[in-house]
Structure 1
């Protein structure tokens, strides 16, 4: 064994160092199978002290580090390159509950805990951790923080940035930032933990977090509604906010093309197919039946298409399963050019109309699948063509992206609303981000990681030198 790897094994134990191709293969390929790397090895530390020792060792030997959680990134943010010289640090062994304080509604967990495990810990304590993602069974808290994940309940609870009270982070030189405070108010200087949320492991390695908990809702009112168009959907969103305030937890939209695709692979499960479908959920304390009746009474005053209300938890879960099946159904149907974009909710209808017109002019026969979290303006806007098997789909990717992103930024939006930037979108970020913001990002990277060893090849690297 080479001296460097022998030193790694001495820190974490030989059984936690993976070097054989059959053992490292799962860490070398991204979720969408677009990026294939070749790691030097995979290290699985079991404590913050071991992570700190690893980063000190890597800096001394000039070995680059790729932090990896559940490996659910859709933009190659956690994939090593093909050089065979980057050490993947997997966090699955850092999965402990450190503290839970129900009086303060806070919980401290390690970064390798899966989101589903954290949700269950909160529920067992009679509390809610509201982040909810389709990948929650495998994605890890460190990855959620590193991409500032949002998911299905941002409308009410916010992204991971809003859900985070404190962090523990190992810096590239091995020093440990201890900021696991559970305070909600602290004006003692700059809030430095915010640097690491959304940084995709390029400034340091998050090892633990203190997060907000909320009262566990006891009442839900969930409805699948049909509307005549995206403008009607956004008008409904505004009216629901006015009527129900922060009890409106979720507002999801799905185009007719998405509904037709779901019906193709899940026949008989959709309640109906309309120009647009909306999944609405209210949550509160008290009794579900009373909340459901409030929603029914209010909907009776609106002009809508078909609608279905969930009268039981089983019916509620069936409606949610339809929404959560969309991404996997599209993957099953074939490749697509995916966009994780965000625009102000009020701009969604005009963006959709303008972008469809522009793409149709440029690519006759284009198929657009638009769905997502309209309550916070985050759309999954995915493109495929009618050509057989979409064989040459990605040859057109840059041209498609240029059209989509130009319109996104015309409407004051973003090209990365919740999945991060990774190695997929760095050059686009450089084109559209404010130049001064880019300069500040480069300066922070240089300050914290002057040797460029933390997750190289991702978007901060793509920004280049000033």
Structure 2
């Protein structure tokens, strides 16, 4: 039960907010309330907000009852600043607005836009936003500003503080003020003169104290996100400007950031990088002043020997890493320019300046993207490399500190000694050396008191070393949060700290906004509320709960994300291990079923974004397997044994349903299907207007032994059963027949595996958790393909990319397996003449095609076939997930929200999976077909000399 004041609050906001935006469920409050830090608080209420008015309402009602409120964007924060044990306010999907103006010199962004999305929007203008945190593909603008997140290249010159133009804020009492709006400023001057007067008084006090003024300026010469942005008090005169800049790095403790206007920076198109190996840390650090002050360098990333060792055995890493001597330290240096000629000039300039400094390997820059991508993959792989090898139940911690450049080498050596002293032997050091910023990563067990003490003693010595010895920053770019809140006064001194306390009091006198963050009198808050990470499933136990997976998850706006699915399972496992109440465990399991298991597309895209490569879908499939009872397995066995008959039955049924559709019309079919589904308690699948008809017989052609062009065509089950035309479709041929016609046009002799009708790759079984039956079908297919391909000599084409991906994983590696995109590019391009059609078309790159890295190839193929090609933004997975789109149509609808608007003017869409195409056609309201239809329409046989 909620405490009375919270129940009153919930009742008050429920009058306006939809029920679906309010969460008090015990499982969902845990899953929605978890961020990337190693702290955990469980909110009493989680509220998803979609607009400014909802935020105002929540703040006013919470303020009436003096209830704390914490704001959250993406939850990628590392220092515990996005968690709450009170009211957690999450940004919903309504915060996606933007505007690019002033000749792209400025961009206005709502706080829910992901950082990389902002850069995508600016790309055509050769611009980007200044901040470039490592989490930019997941972190949202609200969090980027609120934490003053920086990154590898932005330094202290292009961070949010330096590139901010204006903000719209909502204060704790619900008042809105826009610093770019004269009318808003005037109204605020009348309603809140005490804030403006208070800021002016603090500004004048600092100006009158030269020692304090100089202290503030000194602290921001290097990266620093410890405490508030006190530099606003010395950099600006106007109280509105001071207020605006104070919000940068305020971590939601002063106000809610509702709108941001950035001044954009140039995105250079010409880049080159060098991975320079120095014999030791001291030598590497001696280079930094040269790079920083005199040379055109955009980034210089330092990596110690332990860091290089952590990735040296990973695929794609340079072989020489393993042979480096102890102590070798790398600098990854990047230079950028507006032209190729300028870039080469800069490379020569940097090389000449560094020529006399001893290196372990020759200093060589490369402007080849494939080559310098390898270098940056080393740098990007460091954090996950440590996280992936940690013991189950431990967490991976990444701290970041900064030092004056002249102390960087000594500080790095001191850190290494501290790791030895406290036996953190896996710890690595890397960082943004140009700014004196070092990250150190290590694994930590918080389940044992002695381990917590070890961590505490380490951090105590780190604090002493950073502050007392080098006068550096305890938090360079990850924010103060709870992690460094006890040490803010130690780093800044009493006078500066008192300014921060007064600023907090000025904006939030009742301490309601994100309490415990930045200003916290509890000297031990950094070792309290530590997050448990119990073992829950071997497939996901390495998860670090960073949330990088969330933007590509098709259910992210419907139910759970991969991170939340893992957090939920961990909570269930924790309760079971702790002998929790059976009633509570039962409730948690029931709460998990729909958002966790049933609405997971299990597409595996999460693994492509996960730092440690976790495919949460595999865990969900395993959980489905556990839930499959004896009867379900008997049914799956029967289907596997009688697959040809089942497939024939599906064909017949679809043709029958199509005939009923023809006779009764779409409106009747939709109404009747919806009613039947409702009466069944949503157990019956939902018919939709894009339901295909069945497929006619696939006839083998007469073998021509003199034809040297041979291909084995394996039409996947969906293609054989349900790729006939939908009602109103202008393409009359089913996919197997269209594919056969295209192959013959290119001169190929088509071979089909024996007993084609009963063959299946097993994908349909695996997705439902029937792994035994799936593997049996894969092995059956494997034998058939090895036989007909002459043990792998003849290439095999499968027309469906999800099936092909499983085949590549499960079948004999001797088989040469191709899905449509690569097959056309490799085998048909030189045998057909391509004439681009005067059409605007859309592409959907399936999850499996993305995992096979086929996006660019798909676009290239489509561009050879049509004049204009559109790849809709932020559509990663269609959410149809085999037949799941019939059983949970809301997953498909949510995953493809916004698709229709992006398809305006498109004649048709193309993909490589029939089931995906059903959902895409339904939601996009244009026909989606296999890319092979487009290739066939855009090609003719090449004329030969004989012709």
Q: How does 1:213-228 map to 2 (within 5 A)?
A: 213-228=264-279
Aligned to 1:446: 505
For the structure 1 residues 242 and 139, does the alpha-carbon distance in structure 2 shift closer, same or farther, using more than 3 Å as the test? Answer: closer
Higher strand share: 1
Aligned to 1:23: 28
Q: Work out which of the residue numbers 306, 315, 320 in structure 2 matches 1:272.
A: 320
Question: Residues of 1 paired with 2:237 and 2:24: CA distance?
Answer: 46
Instruction: Please say if 1:344 is aligned against 2:381.
Output: no
Pairwise CA distance, 1:349? 0.5
RMSD: 2.8
8 Å contact from structure 2 (residues 33, 84) kept in 1 = yes
Gaps (5+ residues) in structure 1? none
For the structure 1 residues 57 and 252, does the alpha-carbon distance in structure 2 shift closer, same or farther, using more than 3 Å as the test? Answer: same
Pairwise CA distance, 1:112? 1.4
For the structure 1 residues 27 and 299, does the alpha-carbon distance in structure 2 shift closer, same or farther, using more than 3 Å as the test? Answer: same
Q: Deviations over 1:323-363 (max 9, x none)?
A: 11211222222245542111112211111223434554x43
SS in 2 for 1:131: coil
Aligned to 2:814: none
Question: Residues of 2 paired with 1:111 and 1:365: CA distance?
Answer: 38
Question: Residues of 2 paired with 1:23 and 1:363: CA distance?
Answer: 38
Q: How does 1:369-380 map to 2 (within 5 A)?
A: 369-380=428-439
8 Å contact from structure 2 (residues 112, 140) kept in 1 = yes
Q: How does 1:53-132 map to 2 (within 5 A)?
A: 53-81=57-85, 86-103=86-103, 105-132=105-132
8 Å contact from structure 1 (residues 43, 87) kept in 2 = yes
Question: Residues of 2 paired with 1:7 and 1:57: CA distance?
Answer: 7
Question: Residues of 2 paired with 1:276 and 1:391: CA distance?
Answer: 35
Q: Which moved more, 1:6-15 or 1:45-54?
A: 6-15
Instruction: Please say if 1:397 is aligned against 2:446.
Output: no
Pairwise CA distance, 1:22? 3.9
Q: Work out which of the residue numbers 45, 49, 53 in structure 2 matches 1:45.
A: 49
Q: Deviations over 1:418-459 (max 9, x none)?
A: 101111221122333311111111111112111111111223
Higher helix share: 2
Instruction: Please say if 1:260 is aligned against 2:309.
Output: yes
Question: Residues of 2 paired with 1:218 and 1:91: CA distance?
Answer: 33
Question: Residues of 1 paired with 2:130 and 2:498: CA distance?
Answer: 34
> Whose radius of gyration is greater, 1 or 2?
2
Q: Deviations over 1:272-317 (max 9, x none)?
A: 3341111111111012x65146415742634422245334223233
Gaps (5+ residues) in structure 2? 183-234, 524-947
Question: Residues of 2 paired with 1:390 and 1:305: CA distance?
Answer: 43
Q: Work out which of the residue numbers 361, 368, 388 in structure 2 matches 1:312.
A: 368
Question: Residues of 2 paired with 1:41 and 1:114: CA distance?
Answer: 25
For the structure 1 residues 156 and 102, does the alpha-carbon distance in structure 2 shift closer, same or farther, using more than 3 Å as the test? Answer: farther
Question: Residues of 1 paired with 2:422 and 2:98: CA distance?
Answer: 53
Pairwise CA distance, 1:89? 0.6
Aligned to 2:134: 134
Pairwise CA distance, 1:390? 10
8 Å contact from structure 1 (residues 181, 210) kept in 2 = no
Question: Residues of 2 paired with 1:390 and 1:123: CA distance?
Answer: 49
Pairwise CA distance, 1:26? 2.8
Instruction: Please say if 1:171 is aligned against 2:219.
Output: no
8 Å contact from structure 1 (residues 367, 384) kept in 2 = yes
8 Å contact from structure 2 (residues 104, 125) kept in 1 = no
Question: Residues of 2 paired with 1:419 and 1:366: CA distance?
Answer: 24
SS in 2 for 1:278: strand
Q: Deviations over 1:22-44 (max 9, x none)?
A: 43333222214x22222122212
8 Å contact from structure 2 (residues 73, 142) kept in 1 = yes
Aligned to 1:356: 416
8 Å contact from structure 1 (residues 171, 203) kept in 2 = yes
8 Å contact from structure 2 (residues 271, 367) kept in 1 = no
Which 4+ stretches in 1 moved above 6 angstroms?
none
Question: Residues of 1 paired with 2:303 and 2:448: CA distance?
Answer: 23
SS in 1 for 2:320: coil
8 Å contact from structure 1 (residues 338, 382) kept in 2 = yes
Question: Residues of 1 paired with 2:411 and 2:520: CA distance?
Answer: 31
Instruction: Please say if 1:408 is aligned against 2:466.
Output: yes
Q: Which moved more, 1:309-318 or 1:274-283?
A: 309-318
For the structure 1 residues 365 and 152, does the alpha-carbon distance in structure 2 shift closer, same or farther, using more than 3 Å as the test? Answer: closer
Q: Please give the TM-score of this superposition, normalised by the length of structure 2.
A: 0.45
SS in 2 for 1:135: coil
Q: Deviations over 1:153-196 (max 9, x none)?
A: 133743221121111111111111211479xx986445211221
Question: Residues of 2 paired with 1:100 and 1:392: CA distance?
Answer: 54
For the structure 1 residues 318 and 92, does the alpha-carbon distance in structure 2 shift closer, same or farther, using more than 3 Å as the test? Answer: farther
Instruction: Please say if 1:14 is aligned against 2:24.
Output: no
Pairwise CA distance, 1:249? 0.9
